[in-house]
Amino acid sequence: MPELRKDPIISRWVIISTERGKRPHDFVVEPEVTKGGFCPFCPGNEHTTPPEIMAYREGGGPPNSAGWKLRVVSNKFPALVNEGELDRRGEGMFDLMNGIGAHEVIIEFPQHNQTLSTVSIVQFADVLYAYRDRIRDLSRDPKFRYILIFKNQGRAAGASLEHSHSQLIGLPIVPELVMEELSSSMAHYRLKERCVFCDMIRQEIQQGVRVVLENDLFVALCPFAPRSPFETWILPKQHHSSYVDLHDDSFPKLAEIFSETLKRLDAALSRPPYNFILHTAPVRETKLEYYHWHFEIMPKLTLMAGFEWGSGFFINPTPPEDAARYLREVQLEGTTAP
Amino acid sequence: MPELRKDPIISRWVIISTERGKRPHDFVVEPEVTKGGFCPFCPGNEHTTPPEIMAYREGGGPPNSAGWKLRVVSNKFPALVNEGELDRRGEGMFDLMNGIGAHEVIIEFPQHNQTLSTVSIVQFADVLYAYRDRIRDLSRDPKFRYILIFKNQGRAAGASLEHSHSQLIGLPIVPELVMEELSSSMAHYRLKERCVFCDMIRQEIQQGVRVVLENDLFVALCPFAPRSPFETWILPKQHHSSYVDLHDDSFPKLAEIFSETLKRLDAALSRPPYNFILHTAPVRETKLEYYHWHFEIMPKLTLMAGFEWGSGFFINPTPPEDAARYLREVQLEGTTAP
């Protein structure tokens, strides 16, 4: 019997096919074809990207030179531009403003042939620190109301360049889905005086069936009402609404669980394309009692029919309990089965 | 300068790249490869589908025989099942119910090698009547709260069978996006005592820049804040919240404008894959002053990065004013340029 399940945060229902649930090998993942050729993100080609906004360099060195561990540059083809006035205005009944904002690329590490699943925990942690540092820096600019951080891994997930990178879009508005998460979790808080995410984490850890991994600070789990097969969230166990409030010492722990989650997805699904998105509070809205930052990882396994994003209604052929079990049990290279 | 635009109905902002806007030939549409082979939807193969729920037959004839003009059957691999109890329940803090519902396939016409863009207006109108008849029939069953009608055209848009068909999903809940449309348009009504869709139609027809086509009863337009390039909506000029309230005589007029819209999309974009979705009021909620049924057509031209549906935030490289102009000006076969 299929099930209709409601996301505990927002009022999104999904159909979960519990009977003919798709297992990992039912999904055909096309292997990424390495195109080779010139890469603007590789060391030595720094002059071919827009100028550096920030970089991590061991022992320093001038901007836009080689020797970096991680580099942040403006997107060469930005969706939003940084210069000018917002000029919020109406056009009759319609509302618009100039597309002022930031669009940055985080070049995660110098190695062209590595992915976030294969680099060291130290390198992964640098990426996570960079997200924090860029959000902090942009939060000082009053025109930004939200900083959206996301990653497209693999061509089918929207990556147009092979070299591993994340993206940042700084917005003068709060995206719809974040608004919805905020208002729904606030409604829960008003009713219960508790954070709905904290409630969920507690129940998930107690039940165990949807937990993929955990350490003392974080938990990786397949959510109760996932939109897509093998959707996995990583959440801090301690309540924080904003990613920038994560303690310096906690980043390596986050890198550890994030890295192993991606490794397990890679092993179970033959290196699938995926997207992840950082869900965090709007800038300057710090210390919200009712919201809880987290990452949402969505492997791109099914051809999403347009009707799904056009209707806000999703059909997921893999129950999250099955997905979590596969991810827990899959054998990683260089390890033995549990 | 790119623009941030807000959908006039719900609070969805999109980025419109107004400067380096993509024109029709910038999109690479892969031609559909005809696979051939056995087709369960072709006349003569009626016994290979689940039994007929409804059919239009000129001059009658027994169910599940050939000689039909249009045929509705259950989906052979249904996402929801029709038998059993809903059994709404909680699992701790989570909400779920059995996946009870309807999942039907509307086989639009007998001809395997035609599409909705190539069949006659009479055949197109039959498809539109069938949507109405199925919604009416299912509305009698108290377990349904929403009937979702949609079409995936082309493999890239999610169609798994070539033979032209639409789908219907009868749901015991109202999908999230519909809920949002309802509550937002109700808010507008409370403020203005007018339907927000009626307001929009009036302004669009006055401005003209985003109108693709109109006749005395309907208008086809590219919405002010489209999620995807060449997104086109078809709306009745007269206020009706529910598709089932459309007058019998109006269907041919709807078929006319719908058909020409699809023909224009085909001509401008080399027969792109697309999805369309019927947005209509929930069943039994008839005669709503604040809601207005319509169709939303979304060609599948860009690789939608998961971040877009994961964030509810869209980047659209084609301004709707440009899209509408291309669609108005494109030359259809057998016609002369205006």
Which residues constitute the domain of residue A212?
A: 39-87+95-329
Q: In chain B, which residues have their Cβ closer than 8 Å to the Cβ of A296? A: 310
Q: Do residue A306 and residue B152 have CB atoms under 8 angstroms apart?
A: yes
Res B27: pLDDT? 81
The 3-state DSSP class for residue B287 equals: coil
Look at residue B19 and tell me if it is in a domain: no
Residue A241 lies in a domain: yes
CB A165 within 8 A of CB A174: no
Closest residue of A to B12, CA-based? Answer: A176
Nearest CA in chain A to B315: A79
Record: contact B148-A307, CB cut-off 8 A: yes
Q: What is the ipTM of this complex?
A: 0.91
CA nearest B168: which of B107, B117, B252? B107
Backbone angles phi, psi at A240, to 5 degrees: -145, 135
Cβ of B158 and A224 within 8 Å?
Answer: no
A165 a catalytic residue: yes
For residue A285, the model assigns a pLDDT of 87
Confidence of residue A35 (pLDDT cuts 50, 70, 90): confident
Residue at A334 is within a domain = no
Residues of chain B with C-beta less than 8 angstroms from the C-beta of A150: 305, 307, 310-311
| pLDDT tens per residue, range B239-283 | 999 999 999 999 999 999 999 999 999 999 999 999 999 999 999
Task: Give me the number of domains chain B comprises.
Answer: 1
B60 assigned to some structural domain: yes
Nearest to A175 among B18, B180, B312 (CB): B312
Contact A284, B147 (CB under 8 A): no
Examine residue A34 and state whether it is found in any structural domain, yes or no: no
pLDDT at A159: 85
What band does A334 get if pLDDT is binned at 50, 70 and 90?
low
Mean pLDDT estimate for chain A: 92
pLDDT digits (tens, 9 = 90+) for A74-131: 998 888 998 899 999 999 999 999 999 999 999 999 999 999 999 999 999 999 999 9
Which secondary-structure segment (H or E) carries B182? helix B176-192
pLDDT of A33 strictly over 80: no
Q: Which residues of chain B, if any, have pLDDT below 50?
A: 337-338
- Residue with the bigger pLDDT between A22 and B319: it is B319
CA distance to partner chain A, nearest, from residue B245 (Å): 21
pLDDT at B304: 63
Residues with Cβ within 8 Å of B274's Cβ and at least 6 positions away in sequence, in order, are A306, B153, B154, B157, B262, B265, B297, B298, B299, B300
**What's the pLDDT at A313?**
83
Point out the residues of B that are catalytic: 165
* Residue A162: inside a domain: yes
Catalytic position from the list A103, A163, A165, A240: A165
Using DSSP bridges, classify how beta strands A314-316 and A13-16 pair: parallel, antiparallel or unpaired. parallel
pLDDT digits (tens, 9 = 90+) for A69-83: 999 999 988 889 988
* A289/A159: higher pLDDT: A289
Distant-in-sequence, close-in-space partners of A306: CB < 8 Å, separation ≥ 6? B152, B157, B158, B274, B275, B277, B298, B300
A203:B94 CB<8 A: yes
Cβ contact (<8 Å) for A303 and B77? no
Would residue A123 count as lying in a domain? yes
Q: Which residues of chain A make contact with B300, given a CB cutoff of 8 A?
A: 306
Quote the minimal CA–CA distance from A101 to chain B in Å.
10
pLDDT at A281: 97
Q: Do B81 and A180 touch (CB under 8 A)?
A: no
For testing contact with chain B, the best of A1, A3, A4 (most B CBs within 10 A): A4
pLDDT the model gives residue A23? 79
CA distances from residue B338 to B143, B258, B330 in whole angstroms, order as listed: 51, 20, 9
Mutate to test the interface with A, among B10, B94, B165, B280 (most CBs of A within 10 A): B94
Residue B303's pLDDT is 65
CB contact under 8 A, B203 and A96: no
Number of A/B CB contacts below 8 angstroms equals 218
3-state SS, one letter per residue, for chain A: CCEEEECCCCCCEEEECCCCCCCHHHCCCCCCCCCCCCCCCCCCCHHHCCCEEEEEECCCCCCCCCCEEEEEEECCCCCCECCCCCCCEEECCEEEEECECEEEEEECCCCCCCCCCCCCHHHHHHHHHHHHHHHHHHHCCCCCCEEEEEEEECHHHCCCCCCCEEEEEEECCCCHHHHHHHHHHHHHHHHHCCCHHHHHHHHHHHHCCCEEEECCCEEEECCCCCCCCCCEEEEECCCCCCHHHCCHHHHHHHHHHHHHHHHHHHHHHCCCCEEEEEECCCCCCCCCCCCCCEEEEEECCCCCCHHHHHHCCEEECCCHHHHHHHHHHCCCCCCCCC
Note the pLDDT of residue B55. 97
CATH of the domain at B85: 3.30.428.10
Would you state the pLDDT for residue A59?
83
Interface test with A, best of B10, B17, B93 (most A CBs within 10 A): B93
Phi/psi of residue B87, nearest 5 degrees: 50, 60
* Position B131 in a domain: yes
Backbone angles phi, psi at A320, to 5 degrees: -65, -25
Q: How large a percentage of chain A has pLDDT more than 70? A: 95
Report CB contact under 8 Å: B311, A175.
yes
Judging by beta carbons within 10 Å of its beta carbon (0-12, 13-18, 19+), is residue B43 exposed, middle or buried?
middle
Which residues on chain A are in Cβ contact (under 8 Å) with B95?
Answer: 5-6, 8
Cβ separation of A6 and B95 shorter than 8 Å? yes
Cβ proximity of B319 and B2 under 8 Å: no
DSSP letters along B93-158, please?
TEEEEE-B-EEEEEE--S-TT--TTTS-HHHHHHHHHHHHHHHHHHHTSTT-SEEEEEEEESGGGT
- Amino acid identity, position B64: N
CB contact under 8 A, A2 and B203: no
Give the gap in angstroms from C-alpha B58 to the nearest C-alpha of chain A: 32
| Chain B residue whose CA is closest to A5 | B96
**DSSP class of residue B42?**
S
Enter the tokens of residue B334.
């057998």
Q: Which residues of B touch A192 (CB under 8 A)?
A: none
The owner of tokens 């809903």 is B86
Segment A192-207 shows an average pLDDT of 97
**pLDDT band at residue A30 under the 50/70/90 scheme:** confident
**CB atoms A4 and B296 under 8 Å:** no
Selecting from B13, B95, B306 the residue whose C-beta is nearest the C-beta of A152 gives: B306
Residue A303's pLDDT band (cuts 50, 70, 90): low
| Nearest residue of chain B to residue A200 (CA atoms) | B93
Structure tokens at B279: 């947005």
pLDDT at B35: 76
Q: At a CB cut-off of 8 Å and minimum separation 6, what does A332 contact?
A: A260, A263, A264, A267
**What's the pLDDT score for residue B111?**
97
> What phi and psi values does residue A148 have, to the nearest 5 degrees?
-100, 120
